[in-house]
A and B are shown apart, each in its own frame.
Chain A
Amino acid sequence: MIKMILTLLFLLCHGIVYGQTVVVVAKDSSISELNSQHVANIFLARTNRFPNGEKAATIELKNQTAREGFYQQISGKSPRQLNAYWTTLVFTGKGKPPKGYPNSADLLFKLNNQSGAITYIADTQVTDEMKVVYRFP
């Protein structure tokens, strides 16, 4: 019980500090909305296309906290399970993980300058230059 309360407190604090995670594309993207299955399939390299057929290019911050939370939500995989998953895809040439960027400036530059770019950020970081296409419930 105590463990559960502490976990809830942690999640609450985490939400206050980092905000809720949202999936975003560039403002001028033709994509307006995705569902949870689209997000999971795109970020787990099960497809490299948006539902309208446009090519998707996944990018992300190399921030362990944000990454862990995001992939836990879309796949239920721990970071180590996720590493094994990517290794299987990468070394058979069947997929690759999102390209990682060291800071938000580089990430946002790429989001606005690469066709089909899609990423996830805290909703407190959303600007007018991007469009939210999925919000976790």
Chain B
Amino acid sequence: MLNFSRPHFIKKIITAFLMYQLMTTSAQANSWLEELNINSFISIDATYTNNDINIESSSKESREYDSKKISFENSLLGTQLNYQVSENLNAFIQGALYYDESGEPETSIDWAYLSYDFGNDLTARAGKLQIPFLKGTELRKIGFSRLWARPLIPSNGASGFNDFTGVELLKSIAYHDNNFTFQLSLGKPEHGLSMVDGQKMVLLSVGYQQYNFHLRTAIAQNKYAVYSNDNVLINDNSHIRMGSIEAEYTLRNVIGNIGYSTSRSDNTPDDSMQYISIAYQLDTLSPYFFAARKNQFFTHVIPARNANATSPPIPPPNVSPRDGDSDTYNFALGLKWSFSDQHILKAQIENVKIRDKTRISSGIITNEGNVLSLLIEGVF
């Protein structure tokens, strides 16, 4: 049954429309505030699944979709204010309005920082930033920037760490036709789960571009603490090491993307992902195909220690611990239509298959679904 009768549906559409109008009007501020730039983005996403399934989302790491319903909950709206304080100092803030896991409107500030240009293409930024692990991590909410309906990176794209508060140095080097970018980030990472408290992060990202070839790689190490569901500290000295590499190459009208990431954690699970995508650009139309595999590997780990001696003992888990592989396979066909310079329409059909072998007593649990998405996305 198609579900158009959610009680807040009309209210949400009106809210989104008013936000869009407000931002469009605000964009005219450019003419009289020379040093202020306002940029906004929007995604209107209608997604239908034929089964209850968990898929990636633009605003959150993943989202549960109910079968045989059209959901608009992956829609979002965001804006950015970028103010040139002086010749070398810049202030930047960017946030979004989206739906949370329960379907209620939620707002977030994704970037809020000051940057300083030292010259020689060396810039420092300090504040709240996005982790530059995979391209899709920084641009998760900006649907206009990607080919696909949703980000290919999964919740384990940066192992659940997407934001951090800290500092980073960016350096660009152009040598003949070769362009290098280096990004060193230090700070306190934020994890999507309340049970994980990020403490320290160090990350180095290197990008290389020549003509129509782009390569980007990143390595990172995070230190974090883990809490139980009832907020009892399990381990305050866990580490995760992450690495990623991705490339894009354009040959005439064909655009190829390939990527890989992996992470190894003191606490289960470890994870990895691979993706490949091919698109053919035919004027304003770009048909595409992608395939992705995401793996989470669980090991039955006994909590290392209870760091706080005054804490109550950790209760035994209610269910048997997970041990083994959980794989998600995605195959999709889609079409992107750039119907104006600033707006695109995407249609995508995707098959998602999950094979969970981590519950030994339950055997292999398989869940499969087909996901049909229609989106209008834009920047303005």
> Which residues of chain B come closer than 8 Å to A79, judged between CB atoms?
341
**A48 with B117: in contact, given A87-B142, A88-B145, A91-B94 (CB under 8 Å)?**
yes
Interface positions, chain B 299-353, Cβ under 8 Å from A, are 338, 341-342
Q: Is the CB of B41 within 8 A of A41?
A: no
A79 CA to B283 CA, complexed, in Å: 10
> Which residues of chain B come closer than 8 Å to A93, judged between CB atoms?
82, 92, 94, 111, 113, 115, 125
**Distance in Å from the Cβ of B40 to the closest Cβ of chain A?**
10
Q: Is the CB of A47 within 8 A of B172?
A: yes
**A80 with B284: in contact, given A41-B179, A53-B119, A55-B87 (CB under 8 Å)?**
yes
**Distance in Å from the Cβ of B99 to the closest Cβ of chain A?**
20
> Which residues of chain A come closer than 8 Å to B281, judged between CB atoms?
78, 81
A93 CA to B113 CA, complexed, in Å: 10
Interface positions, chain A 78-110, Cβ under 8 Å from B, are 78-81, 83-84, 87-88, 90-94, 96
Question: A46: CB under 8 A from chain B?
Answer: yes
> Which residues of chain B come closer than 8 Å to A83, judged between CB atoms?
338, 341-342, 379
| Interchain CB contact (< 8 A) of B176 among A37, A80, A90, A92 | A37
Between-chain CB contacts (< 8 Å), 29 pairs: A37-B174, A37-B176, A41-B174, A48-B117, A48-B121, A49-B120, A49-B121, A53-B119, A55-B117, A76-B211, A76-B212, A79-B341, A81-B281, A83-B342, A84-B144, A84-B145, A87-B41, A87-B142, A88-B135, A88-B145, A90-B379, A91-B39, A91-B41, A92-B132, A93-B92, A93-B94, A93-B111, A93-B115, A93-B125
Against A, the Cβ 8 Å flags (1 = close, 0 = not) of B194-235 are 000000000000000001100000000000000000000000
Question: B139: CB under 8 A from chain A?
Answer: yes
Known: A83-B338, A93-B82. 6 other contacts (CB 8 A): A49-B121, A84-B145, A88-B135, A90-B80, A91-B379, A92-B130
Interface positions, chain B 112-159, Cβ under 8 Å from A, are 113, 115, 117, 119-121, 125, 130, 132, 135, 138-139, 142, 144-145
Question: B265: CB under 8 A from chain A?
Answer: no
Residue of B nearest to A89 (CB): B145
Q: Is the CB of A96 within 8 A of B82?
A: yes
**Distance in Å from the Cβ of B67 to the closest Cβ of chain A?**
33
> Which residues of chain A come closer than 8 Å to B338, judged between CB atoms?
80, 83
Rank and list the top 5 A-B pairs by shortest CB-CB distance, nearest first. Answer: A87-B145, A80-B338, A91-B142, A41-B174, A93-B92
**A47 with B139: in contact, given A84-B145, A91-B80 (CB under 8 Å)?**
no
Question: B170: CB under 8 A from chain A?
Answer: yes
A25 CA to B68 CA, complexed, in Å: 60
Residue of A nearest to B87 (CB): A55
> Which residues of chain A come closer than 8 Å to B181, judged between CB atoms?
94
Q: Is the CB of A47 within 8 A of B176?
A: no
> Which residues of chain A come closer than 8 Å to B142, judged between CB atoms?
87-88, 91
**Distance in Å from the Cβ of A76 to the closest Cβ of chain B?**
7
Against A, the Cβ 8 Å flags (1 = close, 0 = not) of B74-95 are 0000001010000100001010
**Distance in Å from the Cβ of A93 to the closest Cβ of chain B?**
5
> Which residues of chain B come closer than 8 Å to A80, judged between CB atoms?
284, 338, 341
Against B, the Cβ 8 Å flags (1 = close, 0 = not) of A59-93 are 00000000000000000101111011001101111
> Which residues of chain B come closer than 8 Å to A84, judged between CB atoms?
144-145
Q: Is the CB of A46 within 8 A of B212?
A: no
**Distance in Å from the Cβ of B236 to the closest Cβ of chain A?**
32
> Which residues of chain B come closer than 8 Å to A48, judged between CB atoms?
117, 121
Interface positions, chain B 51-87, Cβ under 8 Å from A, are 80, 82, 87
A109 CA to B172 CA, complexed, in Å: 31
A80 CA to B82 CA, complexed, in Å: 23
| Interchain CB contact (< 8 A) of A87 among B87, B130, B379 | B379
**A90 with B115: in contact, given A41-B174, A76-B212, A84-B145 (CB under 8 Å)?**
no
**Distance in Å from the Cβ of B176 to the closest Cβ of chain A?**
6
A90 CA to B92 CA, complexed, in Å: 11
> Which residues of chain B come closer than 8 Å to A88, judged between CB atoms?
135, 139, 142, 145
> Which residues of chain A come closer than 8 Å to B37, judged between CB atoms?
96
Q: Is the CB of B138 within 8 A of A47?
A: no
Residue of A nearest to B110 (CB): A91
